[in-house]
């Protein structure tokens, strides 16, 4: 565990959101119960509803009872935490409400740091981010208008804009109010234990890194599949779609972690430099290359979901073959598949190695059956497996694939922190390694924009619910 953060106030815009209910309030209260929060901290929820402090505390208790019941089992412990919860009603588009927030921030009991150190969390729709940042500055709450010393930081949820143009504009607006080292663009995948272990697996084990290149690896496959649909997020998905929701951030961040060069040291800047270089090196798409490298799909029944247009062309599935034009990965395909309402919920990375130059143990083309693989399972299990070929018992020489597997749950007694626990602590401490830097955001959007421009208004292929996706997706693996 890192040292406890400074005393501070966390201001959550969108305090009534699903994200706040499911992830933020449980994580904050659990960290407090575990003794990981500073001696003096406050949480100020900001929303449009008219609530008193006590009504807000009751609302948080209700949400915790549903999503984190263990945090409210000890009523005395929760009561102590609840006294640190406050609420301010703000019309996010009206700067007047931000002055009320300013007054609430100044109304403190004198604990050192609690008014001077401010962490803003934007748990709001992406379109509101520029509005909130501008109004914070107008109300004297930005980094450059310090009213009682200390620091200002801001956490921004994905998606960071809708395309390269809006991402650049968002970065420009935020950059006018907060310096880059105070901006934390959160992607919860980067807080997952298995994702954080990719660098350790590669760079601390001498048997893997020498083989981690185009000479030995045939392809890399990344899958982010969910067996459920969009649930109650019809309006969000109609505006976003899967390319923006999953591919631009989660998928490309996993790809960058697998493909990055060794950093010069284990600092945030050094690690993020190498990830940015990978994203910058990914080949953009033309209409010709997209024809064989991109398949978009939509699950049957999506157009009947709540708040979805009857003629919607929004994709709920994407399969893309990426190529990285650099020395290490030239001509190695990175297959990325992501989708809703697929056969299972799984996130995994499979690195498939090339076959030996000669195959003595079966037909010449049988190597694919037993090809060496490293399989990094991120969810639902957290495992790392190595696949290799072994002789089946008996007189005949028949080769079968076998596995050696490492499981976090059985190997370590400490289950570790959840992604939101870890990332909240990192932001409080100012540690940026597991957050996305401005240049990486823009490189990612340039890639996604090239896909959208290449496919134009193409109708997504329909696929059955709980299937593997559209049949056409198989063509990108050819």
The pLDDT assigned to 232 comes to: 85
Instruction: Count Cα atoms within 13 angstroms, Cβ side, for 296.
Output: 22
Sorted by where each starts, the structural domains of the chain and their CATH numbers stand as 8-157 (3.40.50.720), 190-423+436-477 (3.30.360.10)
The string of pLDDT tens digits covering residues 241-297 is 999 999 999 999 999 999 999 999 999 999 999 999 999 999 999 999 999 999 999
Active site residue 61: no
* Residue 340 known to bind ligand: yes
Determine the average pLDDT of the residues in 387-394.
85
* Residue 243 known to bind ligand: no
Closest Cα partner for 163 from 447, 454, 458, 471? 447
Which residues on neighbouring strands pair with residue 406, listed in sequence order?
A: 384
The pLDDT assigned to 149 comes to: 66
226 or 391, which is more confident? Answer: 226
Output the six-digit token pair for 338. Answer: 């992501």
The string of pLDDT tens digits covering residues 169-190 is 999 999 999 999 999 999 998 9
* Residue 63 known to bind ligand: no
* Residue 91 known to bind ligand: yes
* Residue 51 known to bind ligand: no
Catalytic site residue from 102, 250, 284, 421: 250
**Beta strand segments in 97-210, E:** 118-122, 152-157, 183-186
The pLDDT assigned to 370 comes to: 75
Distance CA 238, CA 457 (A): 15
88 or 111, which is more confident? Answer: 88
Strands 294-299 and 461-463: parallel
The pLDDT assigned to 304 comes to: 95
At residue 341, does pLDDT exceed 60? yes
Are 91 and 48 in contact by the 8 Å Cβ rule? The answer is: yes
- Which residues, other chains included, contact 207 with Cβ-Cβ below 8 Å and sequence gap of 6+? none
The pLDDT assigned to 296 comes to: 97
The string of pLDDT tens digits covering residues 422-458 is 999 999 999 999 999 999 999 999 999 999 999 988 8
Closest Cα partner for 47 from 97, 108, 105, 82? 97
CA dist 210 → 205, 214, 273, 301 (Å): 9, 11, 21, 47
Q: What is the mean pLDDT of the chain?
A: 90
* Residue 321 known to bind ligand: no
Buried b (16+ CB within 10 A) or exposed e, 241-257: bbbbbbbbbbbbbbbbb
Chain-centroid distance of CA 74 in Å reads 32
* pTM score: 0.92
* Residue 405 known to bind ligand: no
The pLDDT assigned to 252 comes to: 97
Distance CA 243, CA 454 (A): 13
6 pLDDT tier (thresholds 50, 70, 90):
confident
Distance CA 296, CA 475 (A): 12
* Residue 99 known to bind ligand: no
Distance CA 7, CA 428 (A): 9
Question: Is residue 155 classed as helix, strand or coil in its secondary structure?
Answer: strand
Distance CA 356, CA 340 (A): 37
Percent of the chain at pLDDT > 70 equals 93
Strands 152-157 and 118-122: parallel
Count H helices, E strands: the chain? 16, 15
- Segment (H or E) for 407: strand 399-407
CA dihedral 123, 127, 131, 132 (to 10 degrees): 10
CA dihedral 189, 191, 197, 200 (to 10 degrees): 120
* Cα angle: 427, vertex 433, 438; to 5 degrees: 90
* Residue 48 known to bind ligand: yes
221 pLDDT tier (thresholds 50, 70, 90):
very high
Distance CA 14, CA 124 (A): 5
Strands 217-225 and 183-186: unpaired
Distance CA 426, CA 435 (A): 9
CA dist 374 → 168, 274, 333 (Å): 37, 22, 16
Which residues on neighbouring strands pair with residue 89, listed in sequence order?
A: 47
CA dihedral 28, 30, 33, 39 (to 10 degrees): -20
């Amino acid at each position: 565990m890192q040292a406890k953060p400074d005393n501070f106030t966390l201001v959550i815009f969108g305090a009534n959101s699903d994200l706040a209910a499911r992830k933020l309030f449980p994580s904050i209260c659990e960290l407090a119960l575990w003794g990981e929060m500073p001696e003096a901290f406050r949480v100020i929820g900001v929303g449009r509803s008219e609530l008193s402090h006590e009504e807000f505390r009751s609302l948080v208790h209700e949400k915790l009872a549903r999503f984190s019941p263990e945090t409210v089992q000890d009523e005395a412990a929760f009561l102590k935490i609840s006294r640190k919860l406050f609420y301010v009603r703000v019309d996010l588009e009206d700067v007047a409400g931000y002055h009320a927030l300013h007054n609430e921030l100044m109304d403190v009991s004198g604990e050192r740091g609690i008014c001077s150190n401010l962490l803003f969390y934007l748990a709001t729709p992406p379109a509101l981010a520029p509005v909130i940042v501008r109004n914070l500055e107008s109300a004297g709450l930005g980094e450059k208008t310090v009213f009682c010393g200390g620091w200002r930081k801001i956490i921004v949820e994905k998606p960071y804009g809708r395309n390269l143009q809006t991402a650049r504009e968002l970065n420009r607006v935020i950059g006018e109010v907060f310096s880059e080292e105070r901006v934390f663009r959160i992607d919860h995948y980067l807080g997952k234990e298995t994702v954080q272990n990719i660098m350790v697996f590669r760079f601390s084990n001498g048997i893997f890194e020498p083989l981690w290149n185009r000479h030995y690896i045939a392809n890399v496959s990344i899958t982010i599949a969910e067996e459920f649909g969009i649930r109650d997020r019809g309006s969000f998905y109609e505006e976003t779609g899967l390319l923006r929701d999953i591919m631009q951030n989660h998928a490309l961040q996993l790809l960058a972690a697998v493909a990055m060069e060794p950093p010069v040291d284990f600092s945030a800047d050094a690690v993020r430099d190498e990830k940015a270089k990978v994203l910058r090196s990914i080949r953009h798409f033309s209409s010709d290359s997209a024809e064989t490298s991109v398949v978009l799909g939509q699950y049957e029944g999506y157009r009947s979901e709540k708040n979805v247009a009857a003629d919607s062309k929004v994709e709920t599935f994407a399969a893309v073959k990426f190529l990285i034009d650099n020395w290490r990965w030239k001509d190695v395909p990175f297959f990325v598949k992501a989708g809703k309402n697929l056969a299972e919920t799984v996130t995994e990375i499979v690195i498939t190695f090339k076959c030996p130059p000669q195959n003595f143990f079966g037909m010449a083309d049988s190597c694919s059956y037993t090809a060496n693989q490293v399989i990094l399972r991120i969810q639902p299990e957290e495992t790392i497996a190595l696949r290799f070929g072994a002789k089946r018992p008996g007189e005949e020489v028949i080769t079968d694939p076998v596995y050696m597997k490492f499981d976090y749950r059985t190997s370590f007694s400490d289950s570790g922190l959840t992604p939101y626990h870890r990332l909240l602590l990192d932001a409080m401490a100012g540690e940026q390694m597991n957050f996305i830097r401005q240049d990486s955001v823009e490189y990612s959007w340039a890639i996604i924009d090239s896909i959208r421009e290449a496919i134009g208004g193409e109708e997504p292929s329909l696929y059955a619910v709980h299937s593997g996706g559209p049949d056409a997706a198989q063509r990108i693996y050819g």
